[in-house]
């Protein structure tokens, strides 16, 4: 059983789209994403420096575009419903996952995330804040130390990692007195995402998201809120959830914690045997390596990984097997 997962902010690197643009058709696709985003993603994905693409308003559409560019290259015209058994995305990656599931079209996902990105960048600029990864330590002690420092557990990632978010002073204090057997690592992000620091961003984004063009998911899509499939909130037209719930939770996610630990638990409960992490891959595969023992992993970083991704699909996708069986019936 194959899960396709989409990475979140911080996974971007300078020049990451350059090798993809050497492939036929990708330039036109990226141009359509640039038009949807209202920014030059070709430039940002090829020549912009690390500081430029660290800007939230740039990073988020760039990451979602990279994920979807990789997906369409890997599938080479095949429908996601013929290949993907379940999908999920971490933070901003949930918008890419919504496109994988068919709740948003690709350009629509990039356009919507651009509104999210600008709103979050504005909120981050209004009040200094940040995020730090807390790696290791007893999970309960880590959460207690984060709360005691006046911080928020913005991402509960599993695999011994929680991301704390809040004021720079509180983050510095946590780093000076970390929980026992834990390390505190500052993250290169502009603000305390998924916390009340983003209230203004959530309000601004809600005005756009609630009226955005979306359709009911066509395959299982997991929510960052609780790790459960959207179908638990209502079956929708295809049995996999309702577009209204997807848009509502994408809005709430701006200030709500990302429970990636629960998403991984759901993947385990579903019997997932392989995880394909779309570009810019690596972070989620690393978490899965620690939390989902025995699950085969492919993290797509460049076109060099496309054949490995296709091989993983061929060997693990239940949907692909069912499609092939139907074709011979």
Domain boundary among 139, 158, 186: 186
Do 137 and 246 fall into the same domain? Answer: no
Strands 274-277 and 182-186, sheet pairing: unpaired
Average pLDDT over the chain, rounded to whole? 96
- Give phi and psi for 225, each to the nearest 5: -65, -40
Does a structural domain hold residue 288? Answer: yes
- Does the pLDDT of residue 329 top 50, yes or no? no
Tens of pLDDT, residue by residue over 133-163, are 999 999 999 999 999 999 999 999 998 999 9
Confidence of residue 308 (pLDDT cuts 50, 70, 90): very high
Range of the domain at 154: 130-186
Whether residue 27 is found in the same domain as residue 70: yes
pLDDT 10s digits, 212-262: 999 999 999 999 999 999 999 999 999 999 999 999 999 999 999 999 999
Q: What's the mean pLDDT in 88-108?
A: 98
Q: Is the residue at 244 inside a domain?
A: yes
Q: Within this chain, do residues 138 and 55 fall inside the same structural domain, yes or no?
A: no
Per the annotation, the verdict on 91 as an active-site residue is: yes
Assess if residue 191 is contained within a domain.
Answer: no
Residue 280 falls within a domain, yes or no? yes
Asked, for residue 21, whether it belongs to a domain, the answer is: yes
Q: What is the pTM of this model?
A: 0.95
Q: In what order do the strands lie in the sheet with 130-136?
A: 152-158, 161-166, 130-136, 182-186
Question: Whole-angstrom Cα distance, residue 195 to residue 177?
Answer: 22
- Do 8 and 118 share a domain, yes or no? yes
Together in a domain, 230 and 97 = yes
Of 186, 206, 230, which residue sits at a domain end? 186
pLDDT category of residue 188 using cuts at 50, 70 and 90: confident
Dihedral of alpha carbons 187, 192, 194, 195, sign: positive
Claim to verify: residue 34 and residue 176 sit in the same structural domain? no
Question: Which CATH number fits the domain that encloses residue 136?
Answer: 3.30.70.250
Active-site choice (44, 90, 115, 194): 194
Give 276: exposed, middle or buried? Use CB within 10 Å, 0-12, 13-18, 19+: buried
pLDDT in tens, 50-69: 999 999 999 999 999 999 99
Look at residues 167, 186, 205 and tell me which one is the last residue of a structural domain.
Answer: 186
Q: Please, which residues bridge with residue 86 across strands?
A: 3
277, part of any domain: yes
140 burial (CB, 10 Å; 0-12 / 13-18 / 19+) is: exposed
Same domain, yes or no: 6 and 153: no
Stretch 31-48: mean pLDDT: 98
pLDDT grade for 326, boundaries at 50, 70 and 90: low
Q: What is the CATH number of the domain that holds 231?
A: 3.40.366.10
The conformation of residue 310, written as its DSSP 8-state character, comes to: H
State the total domains in the chain.
Answer: 2
Does some domain include residue 52? yes
Q: Is the pLDDT of residue 328 over 90?
A: no
Over 60: is that where the pLDDT of 327 sits? no
Domain contains 157: yes
Do residue 201 and residue 173 come from a single domain?
A: no
**115 and 252 fall within a common domain:** yes
* Residue 287 and residue 252 share a domain: yes
Q: What secondary structure does DSSP assign to 263-300, as a single string?
A: HHHHHHHHT--EEEEPSS-SHHHHHHHHHSTT-EEEE-
State yes or no: pLDDT of 324 exceeds 80.
Answer: no
Q: Pick the catalytic residue from 34, 48, 65, 91.
A: 91
What's the pLDDT at 189?
86
Active site annotation includes 240: no
Nearest CA-CA partner of 160 in 175, 144, 182:
182
Residues 112 and 134 in one domain: no
pLDDT at residue 322 greater than cutoff 80: no
Q: Are residues 247 and 220 in the same domain?
A: yes
Beta-bridge mates of residue 275:
3, 297
Distance of CA 232 to the CA centre of its chain: 20
When pLDDT is averaged across residues 304-312 and rounded to a whole number, the result is 98
Percent of the chain with pLDDT over 90: 95
Mean pLDDT (whole number) for 84-102? 98
State yes or no: pLDDT of 190 exceeds 90: no
């Amino acid at each position: 059983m194959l899960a396709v997962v989409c990475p979140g902010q911080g996974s971007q690197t300078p020049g990451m789209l350059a090798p993809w643009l050497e492939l036929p058709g990708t330039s036109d696709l990226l141009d359509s994403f640039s038009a949807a985003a209202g920014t030059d993603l070709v430039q940002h994905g090829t020549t912009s420096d690390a500081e430029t693409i660290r800007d939230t308003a740039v990073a988020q559409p760039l990451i979602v575009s990279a994920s979807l560019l990789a997906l369409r290259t890997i599938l080479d015209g095949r429908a996601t419903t013929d290949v993907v058994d379940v999908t999920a995305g971490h933070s901003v990656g949930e918008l890419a996952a919504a496109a994988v599931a068919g709740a948003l079209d690709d350009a629509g996902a990039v356009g919507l995330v651009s509104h999210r990105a600008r709103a979050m960048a504005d909120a981050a600029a209004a009040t200094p804040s940040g995020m730090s990864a807390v790696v290791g330590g007893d999970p309960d002690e880590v959460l207690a130390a984060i709360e005691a420092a006046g911080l928020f557990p913005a991402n509960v990632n599993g695999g011994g990692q929680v991301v704390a978010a809040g004021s720079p002073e509180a983050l510095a204090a946590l780093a000076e007195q970390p929980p026992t057997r834990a390390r505190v690592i500052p993250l290169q992000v502009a603000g305390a995402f998924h916390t009340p620091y983003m209230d203004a961003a959530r309000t601004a984004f809600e005005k756009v998201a609630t009226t955005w063009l979306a359709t009911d998911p066509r395959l299982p899509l997991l929510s960052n809120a609780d790790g459960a499939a959207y179908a638990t909130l209502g079956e929708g037209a295809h049995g996999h959830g309702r577009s209204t719930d997807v848009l509502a939770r994408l809005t709430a996610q701006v200030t709500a914690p990302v429970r990636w630990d629960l998403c991984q638990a759901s993947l385990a409960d579903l019997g997932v045997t392989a995880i394909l992490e779309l570009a810019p891959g690596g972070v989620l595969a690393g978490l899965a390596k620690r939390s989902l023992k025995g699950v085969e992993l492919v993290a797509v970083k460049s076109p060099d990984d496309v054949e490995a991704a296709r091989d993983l699909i061929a060997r693990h996708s239940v949907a692909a097997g069912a499609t092939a069986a139907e074709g011979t019936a």
